[in-house]
Structure 1
Amino acid sequence: MRLTLISLSTPTFNNIRAASALPYHLINAAKSSLGAEIDVYSYNINDLDDDAIKKVELELGVKIQLLVKPRWIKWMMVMRLMFLRILLKYPIYYYCRLPQNCIKDIKNNNPDIVWIYGEELAGLSTFFSDSECIVTMPDSESLYYYRMLRQPWATMNLLQIMKYSFAYWQYKGLESHICKENVIYHFVGKEDADFFKSMNGQANSLFMRHPLYAYNNEKIIKFHQPKIRLLFTGRYDIYCQHGSDDFLSELEKKCNGLSSYFEITFLGKGWGTWNEKLHKVGFQSQHISFALDYIAELQNHDIQVNAIDVGTGTKGKVLDGIANGLLIIGTAYALENISVKNGESCVVVSNGIEFIQSLYAIKANVSLYESIAKKGQEKVLLEHNTMAIARNLFENYKIKK
């Protein structure tokens, strides 16, 4: 099997300045499980230098051909004039063009599948109408902005409303413009695939579970004593700030009842203020901005908490936590599209009060929640298997022409 990948970002093992890890792991799995030969063309929007690109080429056994972004896009970035995007009908990277010599080379190589990564590049499929074409979106950007516009905390002023409304208009227009009947549109979110289909009735939208990246399933799932170790992961930003503040405010109030049973770690940037607040009320708490060995640090803990307020697709750090044997306590958005079920293989809560109730329940029945963590790990190792997902995507799923 021969694949040609055309990607906005250069694939990397972990996300670097873009969602660049998904194509890396699917390439690796396709080569291992299907023996695929893969040509990679990248606009390198994540700005990898030459040494980093050579490292990726060696790791994946591929040759990466860099594509040039339009000069006016580079100029806008250098001059910090990205606000001029409001003059464009579609998102800025839609205007990246594929040189004629590249189109010719790709056609001459006669790939079994032309695989396009990145929603803004989906329109390039028109050049390869004679080939099987898969566009990995991987999320619906229009759904993201639609959800943002439904959040009271995200629409507190007119500027916010205008910003999200304009972005929604751009991406909704793009998705309608690029949608073709003979192309598979691949998503890692079921709601994303359904939303895209609802807006574009002729679309071949496909949801597949998000593949696993790195995990160690040798961890013995046994909560630490005398204090169970809670972990808040990811950057403290717009995606989780509102919900995390709710969770942590309630935790601060209940310090007398819980500080003897739980200790807290914040792993990611921006949590310093909350770390200090919990210290002051008696919790054992630490803040780690960056871990050299993320998986090892993850597995030093028992329970991962993710209070994600908004988003689409699959939340990679949540999936990482479950795969590495941690019990996940999270909001519905944190756990959507992951093959787990509330009360059986994870704990879903909707606010800070329910979060505190879940901690009291865990304290009262530790063995039950250890078994829930184990069940969650088993489910995602089976349902999010990267090799199986790559085979299903590239080998088993075909458009009926």
Structure 2
Amino acid sequence: MKIILITYVTPTPDNFNAASALSFHLCKYRPANIELEIYSFNGNNVPQNVIQHIEKELNASIHIVPTNKYINYLFKTHTIFLKNFLPYPFNYYNSLSPEIVEKINNKKPDAIWVNGDFMLKVLNQFEGYKKVLTMPDCVCLYYDRLLKDGWCRQSWLKGLGNRIQAVKNKQLEKKYPTTNIIYHLVGEADKQYLLNVNKGLDAHFIRHPHYNYTDKKNISFSKTKIKILIAGQYNLYMFTAFNEILPELCNHKDIANDYSITFLGKEWNFAVKKLQEAGYEANQISFVDVYLDEITKYDIQLTPISVGTGTKGKVLDALANGLLVIGTPYAMENIAVENNKSCVIYKDATQLISVLKEIPYEKAKYEAIAVEGRKCVLTEHNREKVSKELFGLFSRV
């Protein structure tokens, strides 16, 4: 089967300036009978020399196509805030030139796969084909959760800007075509929310594939201080949930001797300082060249996510690589793990502290949970398995 992928971001092994790893792993581990050719708007600005390497990895040609020149102007002039005055989200305004559409038609593909929310103009340029749109999250659900979170209550401007975007996104999701197209999402709640917005859609939830992993890591907690990793930036996704646990961590100085805490990401200086003042060994690493090599140095990943949709790639990374993952319900949603069997889900800061107090005295119990977590993810989020499910959708259109 010959499939043309049209994507807003160029696929990369790890997320590069955008959520670009999902499409990479779906492409790389596709069934042998799938012939693939890629047209990318390169919204994540992947350098040409890297693209050439990715073409070899994916065994697929990648053609870079121009994005909307007016949207480009907003980015170049740092006036992207003007998007609030556009009728729809800016992804909507990207489309292919008539010449490129003709080229694709002349290749006589069996199906068109579009990767990126709101690329309706692109979808409408190809009539008469089997079509699948990988969203991969429901943006309306994202804004619904965000507007209820403390992040938006920091200022009326944040609240207003996000409310404007929420209305635009809902208007557009209501316009999604309901015939001859399948919608692919990596979140069950995302799928249900999308169907509430637009009941006629043929929407499917497929688990998110895990990314790169090593099976060399021996799951055995450090003998001195147990090493905790918090991965990701201090931004809207962790803002509220982290702010809830930080005071509790600082107040319970009795566990400071049992743990070291490392933040892998930016904007954590304030947290490092407060934890150090409370007696913890804490530090921040802003960037690493090889993410996998870094995360396998730790025993536990703590993931206090308060806003988000779909599946959290960094949680999958940690589970697949043998870390015990402790997190909020949003951190674990859509992942094939179960509380206290293959991960630990906490409901509030008090419960988290109780777990952290218990772990040093019950290491074997929690190491076994980490072992089961890795097993579940490597089985249920297996890249070949998930890719086969995705490409199986084309036979249903």
Q: State the TM-score, normalizing by the size of structure 2.
A: 0.96
Q: Is the 8 A contact 2:55 2:61 kept in 1?
A: yes
- The aligned residue for residue 306 of structure 1 is 303
Match of 2:375 among 360, 374, 378: 378
Q: Is the 8 A contact 1:10 1:43 kept in 2?
A: yes
Match of 2:224 among 208, 223, 226: 226
Structural mapping, 1:25-104, within 5 Å:
25-30=25-30, 33-104=31-102
Structural mapping, 1:2-401, within 5 Å:
2-30=2-30, 33-255=31-253, 257-395=254-392, 398-399=395-396
Q: Which runs of 4+ in 1 moved over 4 A?
A: none
Q: Is the 8 A contact 1:123 1:178 kept in 2?
A: no
Please give the alpha-carbon distance, in whole angstroms, between the structure 1 residues aligned to 2:208 and 2:195. 19
Please give the alpha-carbon distance, in whole angstroms, between the structure 2 residues aligned to 1:157 and 1:270. 19
Please give the alpha-carbon distance, in whole angstroms, between the structure 2 residues aligned to 1:314 and 1:245. 22
Q: CA deviation at 1:396?
A: 5.5
Q: CA deviation at 1:81?
A: 2.2
Cα deviations by residue, 1:240-278 (Å, 9 ceiling, x for unpaired):
0221122222111111x2122112111111212212222
User: Could you tell me which amino acid in structure 1 is paired with residue 287 of structure 2?
Assistant: F
Please give the alpha-carbon distance, in whole angstroms, between the structure 1 residues aligned to 2:100 and 2:43. 18
Q: CA deviation at 1:131?
A: 1.6
User: Could you tell me which amino acid in structure 2 is paired with residue 328 of structure 1?
Assistant: V
Q: CA deviation at 1:152?
A: 4.0
Q: Percentage identity across aligned positions?
A: 36
Q: CA deviation at 1:384?
A: 0.3
Is the partner of 1:236 in helix, strand or coil? coil
Distance 1:396 1:205, change over 3 A: closer
Q: State the TM-score, normalizing by the size of structure 1.
A: 0.95
Distance 1:225 1:85, change over 3 A: same
Q: CA deviation at 1:323?
A: 0.6
Higher mean alpha-carbon deviation, 311-320 vs 238-247, is at 238-247
Is the partner of 1:127 in helix, strand or coil? coil
Q: Is the 8 A contact 2:212 2:317 kept in 1?
A: yes
Q: CA deviation at 1:123?
A: 4.0
**Number of equivalences:** 397
Please give the alpha-carbon distance, in whole angstroms, between the structure 2 residues aligned to 1:282 and 1:157. 33
Is the partner of 1:259 in helix, strand or coil? helix
Is the partner of 1:120 in helix, strand or coil? coil
Please give the alpha-carbon distance, in whole angstroms, between the structure 2 residues aligned to 1:86 and 1:154. 16
Q: Is the 8 A contact 2:84 2:161 kept in 1?
A: no
Higher mean alpha-carbon deviation, 177-186 vs 123-132, is at 123-132
Is the partner of 1:34 in helix, strand or coil? coil
